Amino acid sequence: DTLWDLAIAEVEKRENPDDNGKRVEVWEKSILFMGNKNGVTLNTVRFCAFRTEENPKPTLALEYTFGRRARRQNTPKDIAHFWELGGGTSLLELIRIPITSNNIRSFAVVLVLDLSKPNELWTTMEKLLQVTRNHINKILTKLEKTNPEVATEIKQRMWNNLQRDHPDYELVDPFPIPLVIIGSKYDIFHEFDSEMRKIISKTLRFVSHFYGASLVFTSKSEALLLKARGLINHLAFGYDKSKSVSVDHSKPLFIPAGLDSLSQIGPPPASDSDIGKMRANTPLELWKKVFEKTFPPKSFCDLQDTKDPAQDLKYAEYEVDVMRAQKNQ
């Protein structure tokens, strides 16, 4: 069979009813993983999705893999597409490749932040979420003209994790598509001074709650990886989301979207006099200033990846390299 024959057969299988006369719907979701440079690897994705045990390899540019799961026997398998952006904040323009108007309804984002590098944390988080949100907003603006029903559905779904009677309903600004924030390398973070851990934990709780995201701290520990895997499987295959909550900053945080509140999080960890001196137009800006007072940020240039993967000998391909040299010449 040709590729087209197989594609036609697959579509017919999806559209034709099963033995009970019901149409079998295939669940198809996409997830983009992004985060600190060298902090995210597709190994994390593979472990969470497939429980593989291979050695982690750094992600090169934008990588893709997929997973399939069967809900029951003799039915088409659900599909999850996993994308991962390598290079931290240096390859932001690649975000527009996986997230398109065709799959925006079934897309989610997982932001992996390296807890062992607090001086990079806010800059990385802010830049990645900002660029992703801007791209999604452009897609939604186009959809409002071409397919307003879908645009409305996505905007309404942003608020699904927060009940209308939640005290913070008017105070948050949910991310336009489902978002999970993973704090990695908890084993190193756990060795930090207690006050430092408290500031980082409270700040990430506020950011996650403000964006309507789930928050989980993880490391190589099997128990912590299971919790992260549960959230990813919820996004990828619709598995039930855990309702357990852990907000104690002396332990790994685990807070599913919508289960935290500003009253529980409390004010930014700074004295009233310090907060009074800080000029901030929004609560998010205030938390940023308080956080960066303790952890001065690395400049954006420091976070850029200066190495060109095309010059790395391990990716050498003779025919391609000869043609490229000829083109450059």
What lies within 8 Å, CB to CB, of 148 at 6+ separation is none
pLDDT of residue 46: 54
pLDDT band at 316 (very low <50, low <70, confident <90, very high): confident
pLDDT band at 137 (very low <50, low <70, confident <90, very high): very high
Query: What is the pTM assigned to this prediction?
Result: 0.81
CA distance 216 to 286: 23
DSSP assignment of 124-180, as one string? HHHHHHHHHHHHHHHHHHHHHHH-HHHHHHHHHHTTTTS-TT-TTTTT----SS-EE
Residue 328 structure tokens: 């450059």
Helix (H) or strand (E) holding 63: strand 62-69
pLDDT band at 72 (very low <50, low <70, confident <90, very high): confident
Q: Are strands 179-184 and 78-85 parallel, antiparallel or unpaired?
A: unpaired
Tell me the mean pLDDT in the region 109-133: 92
Partnered with residue 156 across adjacent β-strands are none
pLDDT band at 212 (very low <50, low <70, confident <90, very high): very high
pLDDT (tens digit per residue) in 29-44: 999 999 876 655 555 5
* Cα end-to-end distance, the chain, whole Å: 43
Would you list the domain boundaries of the chain? 24-328
pLDDT of residue 44: 57
pLDDT band at 25 (very low <50, low <70, confident <90, very high): low
pLDDT of residue 329: 92
- In the chain, the amino acid numbered 187 is D
Considering the domain 24-328 in this protein, what is its CATH number?
Answer: 3.40.50.300
Whether 162 contacts 174, CB under 8 Å:
yes
Q: How far is CA 192 from CA 111, 188, 199, 220, 249, in A?
A: 22, 7, 11, 17, 12
Tell me the mean pLDDT in the region 225-253: 86
Q: Are strands 214-217 and 254-255 parallel, antiparallel or unpaired?
A: antiparallel
pLDDT (tens digit per residue) in 154-169: 888 888 877 778 888 8
Residue 5 has pLDDT above 80, yes or no: yes
